[in-house]
Structure 1
Amino acid sequence: MSSSPPSSATHPDTPGAPRRGRRKEARPGELLDAALDLFVEKGYAATRVEEVAARAGVSKGTLFLYFPSKQELFKAVVRKNIAGRFGEWDLELEAYEGTSSELLQYCFQTWWERVGSTKASGLGKLMLHEANNFPEIADFYRQEVVEPGHRLIRRVLERGMDRGELRRLDLDHAVYLVLAPLMFLMFAQPIPSLCIPDATRFSAPEYIRLQAENVLQGLCVRSA
């Protein structure tokens, strides 16, 4: 007596396969997206892994298959949204062929498009609020985000100085000329009315453009 053909439910690649078999590879990304939302909304301390799992539509046990602790989950969120981008940004800097003024304007605009205007900008604000209570993740954030960010800005400024397009400045302090306007914009979100009286008329892209021009006024070599 011949056996009946196997059910399609036993083959994950068939149209009738169980959803969990087809979604296995997608789950880490879904968990990281849910975790980013909750960390930014509630902060690190108040976010529970059960909430992250529920928002991603999986069990807490499934979450722990990918991320063994809340701390590791947070680190993965930071790497995906900010820290993991520095390699890409370093390559862009090496390949950039424009002037130093164009490069600095590009850096301001790119930061806004890829970080500042996204939920990832809330991670920096979270760290400033909770760093004292969680020194280990504060050290991680400094090593993975703050220090590489400073090094990247230093490289941009050094490039301009070596090309004779930017004035020679103390780089330990000059990096903050670039960072300061971006930090203001980060803190102005997500409630701009706290920092900007007429927030309805405020344009972040226009602010970015003006700040880049303002910084360049101080950095560029002045003609005789």
Structure 2
Amino acid sequence: MPAPATDQKFQRRKEERPSEIMAAGLKIFAEKGFAATKLEEVAEAAGVSKATIYLYFDSKTDLFTAIARDIATPRLDGIEKLLDAYEGSSADLLDFVMAKLKDITTGTALPSLAKIILAESANFPEIREFYRDHIILRGAANLSRVIERGIERGEFRNCNVNAAVQEIIFPILMNTLARNIFGELPLFGPDGFFTAHAEFVARGLAADKEA
């Protein structure tokens, strides 16, 4: 016998609560930072009680890391699946990964969370370590795979892979932070930046200096 419509509606509502709490938490974290955010405010914004938050998240730190994981994990999973199956050129693969990095830094709220970590990591090392281990280092490992693949296939010049990864990531981080701190000024426009940055990276890695 099917469940009554009211019971089904309640079940759907219950299943949606974690995402609703995370959406409310993201908004308040972005506005106030980590230290100043109170779970009472998140509960009010989500339309639930503070006790309800604890049904799904153990602490404010757990909520913050769940938000970061929810944004980053599907995108990083997608990159890794492509790396496992891709058969084309390493240059095209690198272009794809760079485009995904642009998507992450312009089309998601991760930059706002990164700014919070930059400002408050000294007092809250647990959020810094989560972001480092589950997002920054995972993304760096993906880039390392692309570069190592290109070197092995003779498509990229032999280089210090760890240094090359930093040279790719750090300008992206600085552009992202600049846009979050100073606003969407033409000087920091992501379209022009990513186009130029991808060209610099491609030329720097190319086995043929004239590529």
Check whether TM > 0.5. Answer: yes
Asked if 1 retains the 8 angstrom alpha-carbon contact of 2:179 and 2:188, the reply is no
Deviation at 1:192, TM superposition (A): 4.1
Match of 2:198 among 206, 212, 215: 212
Deviation at 1:75, TM superposition (A): 1.6
Partner in structure 1 of residue 24 of structure 2: 34
Q: Which has the larger radius of gyration?
A: 1
Alignment partner of 1:180 is 2:170:
yes
Unpaired segments of 5 or more residues in structure 2? none
What's the CA shift string for 1:78-103, capped at 9, x where partnerless? 21112454333211112223322222
Match of 1:44 among 34, 37, 48: 34
Partner in structure 2 of residue 122 of structure 1: 112
Amino acid at match of 1:136: E
Seen in structure 2, the aligned counterparts of structure 1 residues 170 and 136 have a Cα distance that, compared at 3 Å, is same
What's the CA shift string for 1:38-97, capped at 9, x where partnerless? 222221111111111111121111111111211111121121112454333211112223
Partner in structure 2 of residue 97 of structure 1: 87
Seen in structure 2, the aligned counterparts of structure 1 residues 21 and 94 have a Cα distance that, compared at 3 Å, is closer
Q: CA RMSD in A?
A: 2.4
Amino acid at match of 1:137: I
The whole-number CA distance in structure 1 between the counterparts of 2:162 and 2:12 is: 50
The whole-number CA distance in structure 1 between the counterparts of 2:11 and 2:25 is: 22
Seen in structure 2, the aligned counterparts of structure 1 residues 97 and 37 have a Cα distance that, compared at 3 Å, is farther
Alignment partner of 1:55 is 2:41:
no
Seen in structure 2, the aligned counterparts of structure 1 residues 201 and 175 have a Cα distance that, compared at 3 Å, is closer
Deviation at 1:19, TM superposition (A): 6.2
Partner in structure 1 of residue 130 of structure 2: 140
Alignment of 1:186-201 (within 5 A): 186-193=176-183, 199-200=185-186
Asked if 1 retains the 8 angstrom alpha-carbon contact of 2:79 and 2:97, the reply is no
The whole-number CA distance in structure 1 between the counterparts of 2:50 and 2:8 is: 20
Partner in structure 2 of residue 4 of structure 1: none
Deviation at 1:201, TM superposition (A): 7.0
**For 2:150, what is the secondary structure of its paired residue?**
helix
Deviation at 1:131, TM superposition (A): 1.1
Match of 1:153 among 143, 160, 169: 143
Amino acid at match of 2:199: E
**For 2:196, what is the secondary structure of its paired residue?**
helix
**For 1:156, what is the secondary structure of its paired residue?**
helix
Partner in structure 2 of residue 3 of structure 1: none
Deviation at 1:157, TM superposition (A): 0.7
The alignment of Structure 1 onto Structure 2 pairs a total of residues equal to: 209
Asked if 2 retains the 8 angstrom alpha-carbon contact of 1:157 and 1:166, the reply is yes
Alignment partner of 1:168 is 2:158:
yes
Seen in structure 2, the aligned counterparts of structure 1 residues 134 and 210 have a Cα distance that, compared at 3 Å, is same
Asked if 2 retains the 8 angstrom alpha-carbon contact of 1:82 and 1:115, the reply is no
**For 2:20, what is the secondary structure of its paired residue?**
helix
The whole-number CA distance in structure 1 between the counterparts of 2:31 and 2:75 is: 23
